[in-house]
Amino acid sequence: MATSGKLGGENLAFLEVKNVSREVFSNSGKYLKIIDDIDFSVADGEFLSLIGPSGCGKTTLLRVISGLDNPEKGEVTLKGEKVGKPSVSRGYVFQHGSLYPWETIRQNISSGLQAVQGKNFDQKLVDHFIEIMGLQGFEDAYPNQVSGGMAQRAALARSLVLNPQLLLLDEPMGALDAFTRIDVQDIIYKIWQEKKTTMILVTHDIDEAIYLSQRILVMTPNPGRVKEIVNNDLPFPRKRDSSEFLNIRKKLQQILNFK
């Protein structure tokens, strides 16, 4: 187990969240602090999960890391450079995918690539991600014509086709049924193993965090702070019913103050 958010070794500075606080102006006319003095580092190629009770600021933290929001205090750096706005180097997958409903699955996947490379974008790369996401035969379908799991796989492909240095996953499996959820988890795990892309996952599912992550950051509620960071050294592939898996689940439940 670990309580420090800092990592040792040469990869320390890949991503650093330095004393970050974020507040919003509430309906009551007062400033409400959402996250407070968040401080941790992520190594190159690491898989980190953020868990905590609803409203603890997990998504807010992810948005700050992405550059979609700016903190009132502290800063985020990626490879030593300050994050101040969104960038193709930081992919973001939302809970409901946010596919363009007027575009086909292929068009959605290639949209970011086309914006970067122009009309002569790499079609073979798009085909590659359609294949590894298991979307063959559905390339010309629209988002409302495919399942939720397929839509999420397309959203993942749209981010990954740009080869981001960091992939931010905001509960991408949250709206899926149990069987589809496990399927998408396995796809994310396979891509992480093959591409070595650094990933940060926001999830309410403790088992999901244990199954995918090397470390799990537990946040406190109101405002969100780092309560504890738990190392997860279970070998891959992981068995959800193993005693070691269940022991980590029990530890996380204790940290979250429920059994």
Architecture of domain 1-86+166-172+193-259: 3-Layer(aba) Sandwich (3.40)
Instruction: Provide the whole-model pTM.
Output: 0.91
Percent of the chain past pLDDT 70, that is, above it, reads: 94
pLDDT band for 48, please (50, 70, 90 cuts).
Answer: very high
Residue 25 in this model has a pLDDT that exceeds 90:
no
Structural domain boundaries in the chain: 1-86+166-172+193-259, 90-163
Q: Which pLDDT belongs to residue 4? A: 44
Q: What's the pLDDT tens digit per position in 61-96?
A: 999 999 999 999 999 999 999 999 999 899 999 887
- Sorting pLDDT into bands at 50, 70 and 90, what band is 182? very high
How would you write the chain as a 3-class SS string?
CECCCCCCCCCCCCEEEEEEEEEEECCCCCEEEEEEEEEEEECCCCEEEEECCCCCCHHHHHHHHHCCCCCCEEEEEECCEECCCCCCCEEEECCCCCCCCCCCHHHHHHHHHHHHHCCCCCHHHHHHHHHHCCCCCCCCCCHHHCCHHHHHHHHHHHHHCCCCCEEEEECCCCCCCHHHHHHHHHHHHHHHHHHCCEEEEECCCHHHHHHHCCEEEEECCCCECEEEEEECCCCCCCCCCCHHHHHHHHHHHHHCCCC
